[in-house]
Amino acid sequence: MTTPRVVTAGSIAQEGRAGVLPPAMSPEQRKAALEKAALVRTVRAAVKEELRSGTLSFGALLERADKDEIVSRIKVLSALESLPRIGKVRARRLLVTHRVAESRRLSGLGPNQRAALEQAIGD
């Protein structure tokens, strides 16, 4: 009969399986990072609201993504779901049909994928 092995944080770290911790930040660095994250969330929410209201088309979104790094990091699935008359199911079908991964961001779309999605949406 073998005794069960007790696993502690120290034993995992010794075996090299511990997760990598983010670097320690000074309070100023942490504050700056939190402010940047809040700005990014605000910009993304504003863009999604523009899509929902119809003031921003998908084609215009792709053009904006070429110029704005924050917008370019929005996931394609999230942008599609924000469009009027396109729900979660249709958005996923569009991605599957045009061979776009669900985790793909706007900046990662190829020219053929961009054109196909724009045409499918009808912008």
pTM listed for this prediction: 0.75
Ordered per-residue pLDDT tens for the chain, 123 residues: 566 665 555 555 455 556 788 788 898 999 999 999 999 999 999 999 999 999 999 999 999 999 999 999 999 999 999 999 899 999 999 999 999 999 999 999 999 999 999 999 986
Question: Residue 69 in contact with residue 98, Cβ under 8 Å?
Answer: no
Q: For the chain, which domains are there?
A: 27-121 (1.10.8.50)
Distance of CA 94 to the CA centre of its chain: 17
Backbone angles phi, psi at 105, to 5 degrees: -100, 165
